[in-house]
Amino acid sequence: MLIEQPPSFIRKLYPSLNWMEETNKNEVFITFDDGPTAGVTDKVLSLLKDHNAKATFFCLGKNVNQNPDLYQNILEAGHSVGNHTHSHLNGWKTTTKEYLSDALKAKEYIQSNLFRPPYGKMKPAQIQALKNHFKVVMWSNLSRDYDSFVSVDQVTDYATKNLNAGSIIVFHDSLKAREKVLPVLERTLLFLAKKGYKASAIKPSS
């Protein structure tokens, strides 16, 4: 996933989207986009297990189709999953009909009503259409782990800056992020433990 510009103006335009997760506990929500990816997701799962942490994986339908065992491993480890479209569509460059149809195709592989838009980019009509099927989950902390020009220190800072109970952190279990996501995830998990935060999975609503 690549964001050319952070969609902070979308946040202002669409306060009804979920930029934080409601909670009355001291917990933070770590999320991963773009997997499952062989050689990355398995290592992420192992690190989460070592730290007794739960997370939410916003999967691409096409990647679940290619890595069904990894997808099962995510669920069996007690994490939650969400829909990140089938083929990583950019909503701004896609018709609403095509966008919804791609998301519903992914739903055949990903049994969840949580949805995160690739690049954070959706048109208003797409948001309306999605809301009939999904809870749209955005984020408060974009780590930029996919950006080769940003250091591990800086990515850790983006991930952990201004955290509160209910904060939603975005990482990527993708090939593009694989150099950074593991060291940054480990640092983030240690940071959360030090601050007394639990890492929890976002629950799909029934």
Among 7, 21, 28, 34, binds Zn ion (CB under 5 A): 34
* Residue 43: burial class (beta carbons within 10 Å; 0-12, 13-18, 19+): middle
Which residue is listed with tokens 């601050």?
195
Q: Smallest distance, Å, CB 85 to Zn ion?
A: 8
Residues sharing a CB contact under 8 Å with residue 72, sequence separation 6 or more, in sequence order = none
Question: Smaller CB distance to Zn ion: residue 35 or 197?
Answer: 35
Residue 91 lies near Zn ion (rule: CB under 5 A): no
From residue 51, alpha-carbon distances to 63, 128, 190, 199 in Å are: 26, 38, 8, 9
- The reply to whether 79 belongs to the active site is no
Q: Smallest distance, Å, CB 120 to Zn ion?
A: 9
Question: Smaller CB distance to Zn ion: residue 91 or 118?
Answer: 118
Among 18, 21, 33, 201, binds Zn ion (CB under 5 A): 33
Asked if 121 contacts 7 with a C-beta cutoff of 8 angstroms, the reply is yes
Which residue is listed with tokens 């950006």?
147
Q: Smallest distance, Å, CB 53 to Zn ion?
A: 21
- The reply to whether 102 belongs to the active site is no
Binding footprint of Zn ion, residue count (CB under 5 A) = 4
Which position among 79, 84, 86, 172 bears the catalytic label?
Answer: 172
State the residue number with the nearest CB to Zn ion. 1
Residues sharing a CB contact under 8 Å with residue 95, sequence separation 6 or more, in sequence order = none
Question: Smaller CB distance to Zn ion: residue 36 or 118?
Answer: 118
Asked if 9 contacts 121 with a C-beta cutoff of 8 angstroms, the reply is no
Which residue is listed with tokens 């192992």?
46
Q: Hey, which residues between 94 and 153 contact Zn ion (CB under 5 A)?
A: 118
Which position among 33, 34, 145, 173 bears the catalytic label?
Answer: 33
Q: Rg of the Cα trace of the chain?
A: 16
Q: Smallest distance, Å, CB 154 to Zn ion?
A: 20
Q: Which residues bind Zn ion (CB under 5 A)?
A: 1, 33-34, 118
Q: What is the set of active-site residues?
A: 33, 172
